[in-house]
Every structure is written in C-alpha cells, then in structure tokens.
Amino acid sequence: MMSVEVERKFVCNADTLKTLEKIGAVCLGQRQFCDQYFDTPKFELTLRDLWLRKRKECWELKCPTAVNGTEEMSGEQSKAAALCSRYKEITNLPEIQLRVKEVLKDVCNDRETETSRSQEDESWLSKMNLVCFAEFTTVRRSFTLEEEGVQIDLDQADFGYSVGEIEVLVPEGGDVQSALEKIERTAGMLGLTGDQRVEGKMNVYLKRNYPEHYAKLLSEHVL
Ligand code: V4E
C-alpha cells in the first residue's frame, strides 16, 4: 500500500507541550529509533530527491510527487502549501529495489538486475553501489488530534537538533488538498506564525557532515 505523506515542520519551543494539551491533542507515547540512509557515493538518489531509509529493520523510499492543483489555490492557500512537503512513501522492499534500480540504470548501465527476496538479504545494496551515508537516533513523542486524522511529532535527534512535524498520511490518489487544509488548521491551533520552511533533521545532518553535497542539493532545489 502506497501513501503520500504531507507534512509541515515547525520549531518547537517551551510552550509547545502546553499548547498541545490545550488544543486537546492526545499523546500516543514516546519511542526511539535509529535511521540509516543509503545512497551511492556520488549521491545519485538524493540528488533526485529520493530518500532510501532503513528504520527498525523496515525499508522505506520517499519519492517526490507531482505537485498538482496549486493553480486552483488562492494566494493564502498556496503560501500555506509551500510550507508543506509531500512525498510518496514506498515500503514494499521489491518495489523499492525496482524503483532504485530503474533510477540508477540511467546513470550506470551495468548494475546487476536481480532483486533480493528477503528483508535480511542486504546483498542488493552493494550490487547497486549503495552505502550508508547517515545514521542517527531520534526520540519521538507523538500526538494526535483524533477528529482530524492529524499526527504531531516532536523529534529530538541525537546530534542536537529538535523539530516538530504536523503530518497527514493520504492514501495514494486521496485528497491532498484536504490534508493541506488540516495541516493549516492545526498550525493555526498551535499558533505557528512563521512563513519560512523549517529545516528537517536530514537537512541539518547534511549541512554539518556533507556541506558540499548540502550546497548542491540547495542549488538543485532538492532542499
Ligand atoms: C524527504 C526528505 C528526507 C527524508 C527524511 O524525511 P523526514 O520526513 O524529514 O524524516 P522523518 O524522520 O520525519 O520521517 P518520518 O518518520 O516522517 O517518515 S531528507 C530531506 N528530504 C526532503 C525535504 C525537503 N525537500 N523539505 C523539507 C522541509 N524536508 C525534507
């Protein structure tokens, strides 16, 4: 099952928890996970805005979606939409392997074509020249606004960066516009006023650890 993740990141401050309580957000609990991100040594995936991740033994590929419908939005709506990102999430491993292989075939045509059958078999990574370029642990507290289908995550990464996210998962082909509206309403309830996109954990990680690649992603408008 594929879905589209629509999310808006925000800066959390000392009042965020109190505000969440006030607006009736329900705490879903706290969990900790380690993320590993993979790419070729020349960053051929991330330069195409493809993010291959392993979290708790599960693989996920985030892919950009075609952004449709902004022409039908009012000025205010498209300003709000610009603060959100939307990515298609592929979690089925054979599908991930096929998609990655397809993309990497364009840059090098001698990749081996076989895909691995099990989650444990990681030989496909070296066959596709994929290496782990980022690894970090996050402590996440999650909240939900039940009537809205909105999740709010407060993330603390182990390299010293904290960020909040308002997130709505839309089944593929579902209503992205209504997800954007839910996010906008939630942002209002949280009293978010800024009109600047807030950096994600990976942006900050790349800036610190791979400044040249970060600059390239910025100049190619990936970040
Ligand atoms: C899509 C993306 C990256 C992958 C990490 O995505 P993110 O949603 O930030 O991570 P996380 O830990 O919250 O994943 P979840 O638990 O929600 O699945 S790294 C960079 N990008 C691109 C990107 C972008 N273009 N703009 C913004 C604001 N963020 C990320």
Residue 157 CB less than 6 A away from ligand 1: no
Q: Domain range holding 12?
A: 3-219
Length of the chain in terms of residues written: 223
Distance 5 CA to ligand 1 centre (A): 10
Q: How far apart are CA 191 and CA 26, in angstroms?
A: 18
CB 164 within 8 A of CB 16: yes
Query: pTM for the full model?
Result: 0.90
Distance 97 CA to ligand 1 centre (A): 20
ipTM for the predicted complex: 0.94
CB 75 within 8 A of CB 46: no
Overall number of domains in the chain: 1
The CATH number that applies at residue 151 is: 2.40.320.10
Q: Residues of the chain whose pLDDT is less than 70? A: 1, 67-73, 106-119, 147
